[in-house]
A and B are shown apart, each in its own frame.
Chain A
C-alpha cells in the first residue's frame, strides 16, 4: 500500500492562522497545523518561542487575536470535557490533600464518588491515603498529582506544560513511561518541554517553535540547524 492509498483520518486538532498578541508583542505569528489523533507530540523551542501560549490557546485559556482552533470540530471551550490540561504551576490547593483536591475537581466534571479519584492517583504512582497538604509534597509528587488532576476525567487530548521540570531523572522517566502508556491507550498528547531527549523514541513527532511560529516537525529530537522545513 503506497502513502497515497493509506486512508487518512480527520485530524483531531486543527490550528489555522493562529495569531496571539499581548499588546504590541506577537507571541504567536500565524501558526497553522493539523495534528492526528492518538499521537504523542512534543513541542520544543527556546524560551519565548510561543510553546506555552500555543498550549494555553489549545486549552481554551487564551483567546486568539486572530485565527481558529478546532478540537473534534469544536472550539477548545466547547471541547473542554475532552481536554486535560496540566500547567507549569500545579493548579492544586496547597492546604488540601491530593484526594481532597481531586474530589473537588472531579465534581467540576460531574464525577461523584472516590473511585475515579483513587484510580487517577494510583495511576501516577501516588497513595490516595496521603493526608498531608499538597503544599508539603515534594516537587515530583506535586507534578504527578497535577498530572492525576489532568487525567481525572479521562480526557482524549492531554496538554502538558513542562511536566518534567524540577523533577529528578527517575521520576521524569516514570512520567514519560506513564504518558507512553496513555498514548498507546489512544490518547493524543501534547507536551511542552525543554528536555527533548527524555522523549526520544517515545514521542511520535517533535514540533519545533521559534519566534511564535512552527518552524519544523520531525520524527526525532535531533534536528540539524539548517535542515529544510518539513511540510507542516
Chain B
C-alpha cells in the first residue's frame, strides 16, 4: 500500500512537472473555456434570474469539453517515445499510474475551474439563492466523476487510430447520469428552489462505483496490446 501511494505521488509529481514545462493541457483547456464564456455572453444577455437557470448547464458543458482536452494530453505524452512501455515492463502497480493520472487531471480541471468560475460569476451576474457551500461537494464530486472515467477511457482508446474521436464517444454516454446530477445540483443551489442533497448523494455513489470499476480493470487496459 505504501508503495502504491509513493508511486502514485512520484508519477503525479512527474506529470505536474511535465505539464508545468509544456503547458499543453492547461493552455488548451483555458482557451476553450474562455471561448465558451465569451460566445454565450455575446449570444444572449440574460437577467440574473435567467442566468441561475442556465449557468449550471453552461459551466459543466465548458468543463466537460475542456476536460477532454486534458484527458487526451495526459496519455499522449506517455505515447511519445513509447514511455508507457517503460512503465509496463516495470514491477510498479498499474493502479499507481491510473490514480496519478486521475489525480493529475483532477488537479488541472480544478485549476481551470478556479480561474473560470469568477468569470462566470461576473459575466452572468450570479449569486446563489440556495446554500452556496453545497457547490463545493457538487464541483469536487462532479469533477472526479468526469476525470476518473475520462482517464480510464482515454487509456482504453490510446491505441485506437482516432483516439481524439473515440474518447468523447466512449466518455459522454457513460457520464450522462453524472452530468445530469452536476447540472441539476448546481441549478438547484443557484436558484434555491430545491435541495441539492439528492444530487450530491448520486454523484458520490457514481464516483464510488466507477472509481472501483476503473481500478479493477485498469491493469488489463495497461497490459493490452
Seen from chain A, the residues whose Cβ lies within 8 Å of a Cβ on chain B are 59-63, 77, 80-81, 83, 85, 87, 89-96, 100, 104-105, 107-110, 133, 149
Contact = CB atoms under 8 A, between A and B. Distances in A.
A108 B87 contact: yes
B225 A95 contact: no
B10 A107 contact: yes
B117 interface: no
B52 to A, nearest CB: 43
B81 A92 contact: yes
B91 A109 contact: yes
A63 B17 contact: no
Nearest to A22: B225
Nearest to B6: A107
Given A96-B17, A96-B18, A91 B81 contact: yes
B82 interface: yes
A95 B7 contact: no
Pick from A59, A83, A91, A108 the residue with the most CB of B within 10 Å. Answer: A108
Given A83-B89, A87-B82, 14 more contacts: A59-B89, A61-B85, A61-B88, A61-B89, A62-B225, A77-B223, A80-B91, A91-B81, A92-B86, A93-B80, A96-B21, A104-B11, A108-B90, A110-B3
Contacts of B6: 107
Interface of B: 3, 6-7, 10-11, 14, 17-18, 21-22, 77, 80-83, 85-92, 223, 225
A95 B25 CA distance: 15
A95 B89 contact: no
B96 to A, nearest CB: 9
Contact of B83 (A59, A61, A93, A133): A93
Contacts of A63: 223, 225
B10 A104 contact: yes
A85 B14 CA distance: 21
Contacts of A80: 89-91
A92 B7 contact: no
B83 A92 contact: yes
Contacts of A83: 89
A115 to B, nearest CB: 17
Contacts of B85: 61, 85, 87, 91
A105 B84 CA distance: 11
B40 to A, nearest CB: 35
B91 A100 contact: no
Contacts of B81: 89-94
A133 B90 CA distance: 23
A82 to B, nearest CB: 10
Contacts of A91: 81-83, 85-86
A108 B80 contact: no
Pick from B6, B17, B81 the residue with the most CB of A within 10 Å. Answer: B81
Pick from B3, B7, B18, B86 the residue with the most CB of A within 10 Å. Answer: B86
A89 B91 contact: no
Nearest to B11: A104
A108 B17 contact: no
B14 A104 contact: yes
Contacts of A62: 225
A105 B21 contact: no
B182 to A, nearest CB: 33
Contacts of B14: 93, 96, 104
A105 B82 contact: no
Contacts of B86: 85, 91-92, 105, 108, 149
